[in-house]
């Protein structure tokens, strides 16, 4: 993720222009969001989740009466650093194709104001991971926008690149995101605009028991999910167990959640954050890099049927997970399987069974 405290200064005719990259990035995302909602789009996925987090911690920042001059400084009041979270991509759904055209045209016109570039890719025939995910249960039209602009560009300086990807989904069916294909509980919320008012609510098409709950039980559960979101906790609920490549997709989704500046604790997967107890006299070595382990670095504990304790540095664990995903190892039934460093099965396809919706 782009550093949030990056600042660039230019002196022109005794005037200085201060550029805060995080602020510029957030403004770009907000503009795209506004254009999408004004064209009857429904925003879902990471942007909605990050909006919930950023809004909560901004309010906490204000409650503390902190100095807004330092708002974009990540070293200033780290307890409210969630205020700085910015999505790297945007997912938006349109019911009507006319709205898609208007949305793309307005995005292009806006980006051209900054001499930026917008590339449009029709994903209908693509076999990439995102397209596969969206079409597991329902045929959806998928278009992708790639946006690149340069902040602070001058004759002598090329500027700093900001890029963002937009996934545009549409369907001729009456449905809303996430199209009965929810991956994490943190992604149940969608954003829409009705009668001029922007609203965030739980989707009615999650594909989970939430869809059929009474309003009381659903409100209780969504409140718990919101509490988890602002604490960067969630549960993985992908349940396409019949597909041969399920674990490849599952692994991709999970890596994307933990390998980021604001890392998530996924509470129902076979690994978890680990802290060495002060009274624990056991001696640990990372089973990947073989270096001694202490609490000065982020640690992960892997839970398998092995009698060995799988304690790893988090960065070593993520590297191992990426390697396992790329290997696409298949078991005797031809299903892709993820394995721990000791080659024990380490899969995510059954995690949805551990989710308690009550």
Average pLDDT in the chain: 89
Low-confidence winner among 43-52, 152-161, 172-181, 191-200 (lowest mean pLDDT): 152-161
pLDDT score, position 135: 52
Residues 6+ apart with CB under 8 A from 104: 118, 120, 143, 145, 168
The average pLDDT across 50-58 equals 98
Tell me the CA distances in angstroms from 120 to 114, 158, 173, one per residue in order.
18, 24, 24
Q: Which of 39 and 135 is assigned the larger pLDDT?
A: 39
- Listed in sequence order, the residues at least 6 apart from 291 whose beta carbon sits closer than 8 Å to its beta carbon are 285, 313
- What is the rounded average pLDDT of the residues 313-330? 95
Q: Is the pLDDT of residue 328 over 70?
A: yes
Q: What is the pLDDT of residues 230-289, one digit of tens each?
A: 999 999 998 877 789 999 999 999 999 999 999 999 999 999 999 888 777 677 889 899
> What are 167's two structure tokens?
């996934």
Higher pLDDT, 9 or 30: 30
* Confidence at residue 260, expressed as pLDDT on a 0 to 100 scale: 93
Backbone phi, psi, residue 258, to 5°: -100, -20
When pLDDT is cut at 50, 70 and 90, the band that residue 3 belongs to is very low
Cα 45 from Cα 32, distance rounded (Å): 15
Rg (CA), the chain: 22
Closest of 307, 344, 309, 304 to residue 324, by C-alpha: 344
Whole-structure pTM value: 0.90
pLDDT of residue 179 exceeding 70, the answer is yes
The predicted structure's pLDDT at residue 136: 53
pLDDT single digits (tens) 108-134: 999 999 999 999 998 765 555 555 555
Q: Parse the chain into domains and list their residue ranges.
A: 22-43+87-233, 246-354
More confident call, 320 vs 173: 320
46-63 vs 215-230: helix axis angle to the nearest 10?
70
Per-residue model confidence (pLDDT) at position 83: 98
């Amino acid at each position: 993720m782009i550093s949030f405290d990056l600042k660039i200064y230019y002196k022109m005719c005794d005037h200085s222009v201060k550029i805060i990259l995080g602020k510029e990035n957030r403004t770009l995302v907000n503009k795209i969001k506004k254009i999408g909602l004004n064209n009857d789009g429904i925003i879902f996925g990471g942007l909605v989740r990050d909006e919930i987090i950023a809004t909560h911690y901004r309010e906490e920042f204000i409650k503390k009466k902190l100095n807004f001059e330092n708002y974009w400084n990540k070293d200033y009041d780290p307890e409210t650093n969630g205020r700085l979270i910015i999505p790297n991509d945007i997912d938006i759904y349109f019911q009507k194709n006319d709205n898609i055209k208007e949305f793309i045209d307005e995005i292009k016109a806006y980006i051209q104001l900054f001499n930026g570039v917008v590339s449009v890719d029709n994903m209908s025939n693509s076999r990439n991971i995102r397209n596969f995910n969206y079409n597991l249960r329902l045929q959806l039209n998928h278009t992708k926008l790639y946006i690149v602009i340069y902040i602070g560009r001058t004759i002598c300086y090329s500027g700093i690149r900001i890029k963002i990807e937009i996934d545009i989904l549409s369907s001729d069916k009456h449905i809303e995101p996430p199209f009965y294909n929810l991956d994490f509980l943190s992604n149940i919320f969608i954003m829409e605009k009705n009668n001029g008012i922007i609203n965030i609510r739980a989707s009615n098409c999650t594909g989970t028991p939430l869809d059929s709950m009474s309003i009381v039980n659903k409100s209780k559960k969504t409140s718990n999910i919101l509490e988890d979101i602002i604490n960067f906790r969630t549960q993985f609920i992908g349940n396409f167990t019949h597909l041969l490549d399920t674990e490849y997709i599952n692994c991709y989704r999970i890596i994307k959640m933990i390998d980021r500046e604001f890392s998530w604790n996924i509470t129902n997967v076979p690994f978890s954050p680990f802290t060495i107890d002060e009274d624990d006299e056991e001696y640990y070595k990372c089973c990947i890099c073989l270096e001694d382990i202490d609490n000065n670095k982020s640690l992960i504990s892997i839970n398998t049927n092995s009698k060995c304790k799988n304690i790893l540095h988090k960065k070593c664990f993520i590297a191992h997970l990426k390697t396992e995903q790329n290997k696409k190892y298949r078991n005797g039934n031809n299903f892709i399987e993820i394995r721990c460093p000791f080659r024990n099965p380490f899969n995510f396809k059954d995690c949805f069974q551990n989710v308690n919706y009550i």
